[in-house]
Amino acid sequence: MNSLDEANVDSNQEPKITIAFRGYGWLKSRLAEKATAMGFSVSEYCELRFIDDVNSESPSYLEKLDHLNDQIAKLGEKLSFYEASKLQEHFKRLRGKEIHFVDVDGNEVNVVVNTMQDAYKILVHSFQIGENI
């Protein structure tokens, strides 16, 4: 499904025509940045902006994309936290090794470190937090 389908536009109604307007160079640059970030050409992006303006009763396609892009950025921040350089160093040092530990529930656990998640799991379980902390 393409963006125009999402915007509830019947593309079979009539052929498209070229619409042009004069604007500042910075405006075109900004439109190009936004369009590229969302995976559209400048023409597609502008068309969707106008369609969204006309159909403003419901959440717009571009608003949905903006929301999804925000979520992606937040997940990227979380991922960068978990893949911080110290964790990467520990992972490189532990990779391929089998580590034995007792988890917080008192179970003996054996983990062969093959992923960052394995290294994270070992680091989390490498100490116990007492009642005073």
CA–CA distance, 91 with 122 (Å, rounded to integer):
10
Our measurement of the distance from residue 110's CA atom to the centroid of its chain's CA atoms, rounded to an integer in Å, reads 33
> What digits encode the pLDDT tens for the residues 91-102?
899 999 999 888
Specify the length of the chain in residues.
133
Lowest mean pLDDT: which of 7-11, 36-40, 69-73, 74-78?
A: 7-11
Which helix H or strand E contains 67, and what residues bound it?
A: helix 61-82
Q: Which two tokens stand for residue 50?
A: 């106008």
What's the whole-number mean pLDDT along residues 31-52? 86
The answer to whether 59 touches 68, Cβ cutoff 8 Å, is: no
Our measurement of the distance from residue 127's CA atom to the centroid of its chain's CA atoms, rounded to an integer in Å, reads 32
CA–CA distance, 90 with 122 (Å, rounded to integer):
10
Q: What is the pTM of this model?
A: 0.42
